[in-house]
Amino acid sequence: MNTQEQLERLQALWWEPESLRFYRPSLKDTSGTALSLDLRLTPEFGASYVGKVSGGLFVELVPQLTVKTAQKDATFGWEDPQKVTAKFGLPDISALLVAIRCRYARRLVPEGLRSKGDTIGNTVGMFHRFVEDGVSATTVIEYAMVGDEAFLKMSRSATQRRTIKLSMAEELQLECYLKHALHAFTLVGKR
C-alpha cells in the first residue's frame, strides 16, 4: 500500500472505524451474547459541502452458538436470524452519552430519557418504530447502569431479546466509540 492509499484509508477511518465488539460467552450452555457497534457513514460531497449522508451507527446483540471448551472458543451468530439489530441516530447516541455523564456526576438520568417504569433514574430507554419488508416493526433499547456494571438490552419481539453486561472499563470503551460517532454525525450534519 503506497503512502496515498494509507492516507486515504486513515481518512476513511473517521467515517468507518473498525467495529467495537464485546463477548460474553457462557461456559455452561449457549446463553451468552456478543455486542457489536459499527459506525458506517457515507457522505456524498457536493462542490464544497456534504450533500447527503447515508448509513449510521449499527448496534447488534447476537446469540452464542457453541459452548467454549478447552479446545475451542465459543462462537457467536453474527448471521443468526435471532440477533437483534438497531440503527442508532444522533438522538440515541446523545441519550446514551447523557446517561453515562449522569452516572459520572452521580445524578439521575433525566426523566425524559428514562426507560418506562424506571423510578430509580439509572436506565435510559429508546423506542424505534420502522417498516421492514412492508411490515411495521419496533425495537426497544434499554441501557441500565447498576453499581459498577451496565446492561444493554435490546428486543424486537418476545423471542428476539438479548442482554449483555459491560464492566466499567468496557463502558469507557463504549463511551469513546459513541463520542466518536457523535462527532462524525455532527461533522456531516446527520440527524
Spatial neighbors of 167 by CB under 8 A, at least 6 apart, are 148, 149
Residue 91 · residue 97 · CB < 8 Å: no
- What pLDDT digit, counting tens, does each position of 51-95 carry? 677 888 999 999 999 998 778 889 999 998 889 999 999 999 999
- What pLDDT digit, counting tens, does each position of 80-89 carry? 888 999 999 9
pTM for this one?
0.88
Q: What is the three-class DSSP state of 48?
A: coil
If you count DSSP H runs as helices and E runs as strands, how many of each does the chain have, helices first?
Answer: 3, 8
> Which domains occur in the chain, in start order?
3-188 (2.30.31.10)
Q: Sign of torsion, CA 103 173 151 110?
A: positive
In the Cβ-directed half-sphere of 15, how many Cα atoms lie within 13 Å? 16
Q: Give the integer Cα–Cα distance in Å for 164 and 87.
A: 17
